[in-house]
A and B are shown apart, each in its own frame.
Chain A
């Protein structure tokens, strides 16, 4: 059995760890709450945009737009969002697994995949794996500003229109609810796939009271669709970064809460162990005194 001094040292170390993990939990909880509010507030906007796009693509007279369907390129691009810091449970590991799926699938179908990464942990992991990154996003913390999002989206739209890539996906941890998050890939380009994905998520999508043909359009459907498509790509990319940050913080809250609970449990065990050791030390001392008196 360890001596009382060693037990006290372990107790103090555990207490310090518990304070650190509790603080990290609190910090992440505040960030999570702030992001959760923005996420909840933005849902209506994404739903309305998805409804609008759905209405246009289901029109009797189809709209033809170069962003709508894949092109002949054999290159795919993925944006990977991870975290800058660790201690968030299995958050980054699930992202790594999804990247593996993409690289293996690309190899199997004879395609190339350009990986663009955000988050120091993911970048370091991919560098260690010897994966060549086509780009990194390091000029913003977690979520890009509106201007930065537009720059990112416009760069990929240009690549798509020039035939450099035929698909763009975002690998991110989707936030379903505080109890459920899952890594998935949202196909952002071509837009037909994005509309498909977003409309199945939108809360109210159908039935609509009116068809596309019932509306007066200003300007032409092609021009309207061009703007909607670009707006959808931009907002989806920003939405993915937002959900990824939200999932990271809730992951860290859960991981740190569990670490704090474990540390507290360990402190209880150590207190018992310390009392037992102290008691046996006192007993031994008493026995020594009694033994000496008898002699």
Chain B
């Protein structure tokens, strides 16, 4: 029997800098204000505030899973259309592998020494955010060897 939650839905990630993602996915994990929530097809209409954390977009046809570190925002799901409004988004997508590994290494060092670092996104990253970058790198399979 086919479950009601099976299948894909449209997922759009919007930031003030542009549209970072517009695809169909079958599962999305969001850092909601009170913990992680999972979105599947046919989810009830929902408006949800997001906090700092990682958005995990899974099972995208013809491409790898996508991961984004956000600083907060909103998610709106209605009629199988998920729109995420987020700001200060960090992702390893489209980044050169060497550069991504260097950022991941700097983030690991920042977590270990509890000091800030300036990333190649030209912003100062505090140890708290660096911990999320380490997790983002792990999920994106960067610097895992």
Verify B48–A218 contact, CB threshold 8 A: yes
Nearest residue (CB) in A for B43 is A216
Instruction: Choose among A41, A45, A147, A214 the residue that contacts B45 (Cβ–Cβ < 8 A).
Output: A214
Against A, the Cβ 8 Å flags (1 = close, 0 = not) of B64-94 are: 0000000011101011000101011000000
Residue among A216, A235, A239 with the most chain B CB within 10 A? A216
**Which chain A positions have C-beta within 8 A of B76?**
48, 52, 215
Against B, the Cβ 8 Å flags (1 = close, 0 = not) of A206-220 are: 000110001111110
Segment of A120-128, A179-187, A222-230 in the binding face: A222-230
Within the complex, the shortest CB–CB distance from B73 to chain A, in Å, comes to 8
Verify B79–A209 contact, CB threshold 8 A: yes
Verify A210–B45 contact, CB threshold 8 A: yes
Total A-B residue contacts, Cβ distance less than 8 Å: 76
Verify B17–A42 contact, CB threshold 8 A: yes
**Which chain A positions have C-beta within 8 A of B19?**
41, 44
Verify B74–A41 contact, CB threshold 8 A: no
Against B, the Cβ 8 Å flags (1 = close, 0 = not) of A158-192 are: 00000000000000000000000000000000000
Within the complex, the shortest CB–CB distance from A188 to chain B, in Å, comes to 16
Residue A49 at the B interface, CB < 8 A? yes
**Which chain A positions have C-beta within 8 A of B123?**
145, 147
Instruction: Choose among B14, B18, B87 the residue that contacts A146 (Cβ–Cβ < 8 A).
Output: B87
Within the complex, the shortest CB–CB distance from B64 to chain A, in Å, comes to 23
Residue A238 at the B interface, CB < 8 A? yes
Residue A38 at the B interface, CB < 8 A? yes
Give CA–CA (A37, B100) in the complex, Å.
Answer: 25
Verify B47–A42 contact, CB threshold 8 A: no
Instruction: Choose among A42, A214, A216, A228 the residue that contacts B74 (Cβ–Cβ < 8 A).
Output: A228
Within the complex, the shortest CB–CB distance from A202 to chain B, in Å, comes to 13
Number of interface residues of A (CB under 8 A): 28
Verify A216–B18 contact, CB threshold 8 A: no
**Which chain A positions have C-beta within 8 A of B88?**
146
Within the complex, the shortest CB–CB distance from B116 to chain A, in Å, comes to 13
Number of interface residues of B (CB under 8 A): 26
Q: A41 with B46: in contact, given A49-B85, A228-B74 (CB under 8 Å)?
A: no
Within the complex, the shortest CB–CB distance from B63 to chain A, in Å, comes to 21
Verify B49–A215 contact, CB threshold 8 A: no
Against A, the Cβ 8 Å flags (1 = close, 0 = not) of B1-42 are: 000000000000011111100000000000011100000000
Verify A38–B34 contact, CB threshold 8 A: no
Within the complex, the shortest CB–CB distance from B120 to chain A, in Å, comes to 16
Q: A45 with B15: in contact, given A52-B74, A215-B78, A219-B33 (CB under 8 Å)?
A: yes
Verify A223–B78 contact, CB threshold 8 A: no
Verify B45–A216 contact, CB threshold 8 A: yes
Give CA–CA (A295, B43) in the complex, Å.
Answer: 111
Q: A45 with B49: in contact, given A52-B74, A215-B78, A218-B33 (CB under 8 Å)?
A: no
**Which chain A positions have C-beta within 8 A of B17?**
38, 41-42
Residue B44 at the A interface, CB < 8 A? yes
Within the complex, the shortest CB–CB distance from A64 to chain B, in Å, comes to 18
Residue among B16, B18, B34, B46 with the most chain A CB within 10 A? B16
Give CA–CA (A224, B74) in the complex, Å.
Answer: 9
Nearest residue (CB) in B for A234 is B87
Within the complex, the shortest CB–CB distance from A227 to chain B, in Å, comes to 6
Give CA–CA (A44, B47) in the complex, Å.
Answer: 18
Query: Which residue numbers of A lie inside 8 Å of B, CB to CB?
Result: 38, 41-42, 44-46, 48-49, 52, 145-147, 209-210, 214-219, 223-224, 227-228, 231, 235, 238-239
Query: Which residue numbers of B lie inside 8 Å of A, CB to CB?
Result: 14-19, 32-34, 44-49, 72-74, 76, 78-79, 83, 85, 87-88, 123
**Can you sample 12 A-B contacts with CB below 8 Å?**
A42-B18, A46-B16, A48-B85, A52-B76, A52-B85, A215-B45, A217-B47, A218-B47, A218-B48, A231-B85, A235-B16, A235-B87
